[in-house]
Amino acid sequence: MSSVLLGDAHGISVVDFKPFLDGSAKQDVASAILDSFKRVGFVYLINHGIPEDKIKGMFEWSKRFFDQPMEVKQLAPHPPSGTHHRGYSAPGREKVVQHLYDDKDIKDSRAKAPDVKESFECGWEENVGSPNIWLPDGVLPGFKEACMDFYSTCHETELEILRAITVGLGISEDYLVKYHDGHENQMRLLHYPSVPAEQLKDDKIVRIGAHSDFGSITLLLQDDIGGLEIEDPNTPGEFNSAPPVEGALIVNAADLMMRWSNDVIRSTVHRVRAPLNAKTVNGMVPERYSIPYFCSPERTAVVECLPGTYTADKPPKYEPISALEYIMRRLASNY
Ligand SMILES: O=C(O)CCC(=O)C(=O)O
Ligand SMILES: [Fe+2]
């Protein structure tokens, strides 16, 4: 294999993205990324283009935000609606559940083991359908600007990764980019508080329940604590750890991308559990921070199987669907 493949972690390739960005080995990088997406739905990218100091800065802002007293964080409350994903959600407010559409089932599942995490979500500042919910002016000055700056930096990297996917598939480099203006993306700051190790191990407490993401791709930055697990594509129900890899951006394909690619690319179920080899202090697992950046196409995009993902023998499995219809269905079922 070429030098763009740096290694792997439980089958997830670690790929050097630089030769794609500088144009020196575009096809090799694109093929390596696509190969990992086809096998496991996840890839690690080194030299991904998001500056290290910006990442460090955003994690610092995240910590500063979550360190605020509850009554301050509640000044930017997530609305009760399942479709307006903005603002602050306190621990236990959200339970990510998969494939449960009956209200009673969702309630039962939430009652069993709440997701013990808190989050702050924001999107494109001009999005009138889902306006951002910020802390009042003067509270934590600079936080909003830092979030917006990081949001647009992640969007730039998103476009490069979408280009790599299409180059890998052998179709025009701008095929997916032209549907992704960044206006429907969602950046999420996540804080998993320190919890008793025993309860996390026994599933009495869940950090984030097993789910797949619903948009095109997700860019995920995590600290060095660990705990992210990915379902084994060959053994449903079994999960492998996706450990922190220094300097790497994790990218996973999401459900809409799986549909768009006629199931060539996988959207894999993942969750956050007790970190492997976590150093506990007084029986407590350390807190963890992560920043997922969920990418979705414009709502007017009509998603139909990409050229190159079907043949006469293997026809498209899905009808065209508008991104709006698809996303609304998924959002409503998850909150
Ligand atoms: O915290 C993590 O590492 C994963 C978060 C995640 O999967 C999500 O928010 O969808
Ligand atoms: Fe996720």
Question: Closest Cα to atom 8, ligand 1: which residue?
Answer: 292
Looking at this protein, which amino acid is placed at residue 286? Answer: P
Contacts of residue 252, defined as CB under 8 A and 6 or more positions apart, other chains included, come to: 41, 42, 43, 213, 217, 218, 220, 267, 268, 270
Question: What does the chain come to in residues?
Answer: 335
> Strands 321-322, 284-285: parallel, antiparallel or unpaired by DSSP?
unpaired
Q: Which two three-digit tokens encode residue 262?
A: 């006629």
Distance CA(225)–CA(244), nearest Å, equals 7
Q: What is the ipTM of this complex?
A: 0.99
Distance CA(105)–CA(212), nearest Å, equals 18
At 218-235, the pLDDT tens digits run 999 999 999 999 999 999
CA–centroid distance, 212 to ligand 2, in Å, is 6
At 114-128, the pLDDT tens digits run 789 999 999 999 999
Looking at this protein, which amino acid is placed at residue 216? Answer: S
* CB-defined site of ligand 1, < 6 Å: 188, 190, 208, 213, 220, 222, 228, 270, 272, 290, 292
> How much is the pTM?
0.93
Ligand nearest to the CA of residue 191, numbered in listed order: 1
| CATH code, domain carrying 153 | 2.60.120.330
Element at 45 (helix H, strand E) = strand 42-46
CA–centroid distance, 263 to ligand 2, in Å, is 18
Domain boundaries, position 127: 5-332
> Strands 302-303, 321-322: parallel, antiparallel or unpaired by DSSP?
antiparallel
At 125-181, the pLDDT tens digits run 999 999 999 999 999 999 999 999 999 999 999 999 999 999 999 999 999 999 999
Ligand nearest to the CA of residue 267, numbered in listed order: 2
Give the chain's domain count: 1
Residue 198: CA atoms inside 13 Å, Cβ hemisphere, count? 2
At 234-255, the pLDDT tens digits run 999 999 999 999 999 999 999 9
Residue 318 has pLDDT above 80, yes or no: yes
CA–centroid distance, 188 to ligand 2, in Å, is 10
Q: Which two three-digit tokens encode residue 116?
A: 């013990």
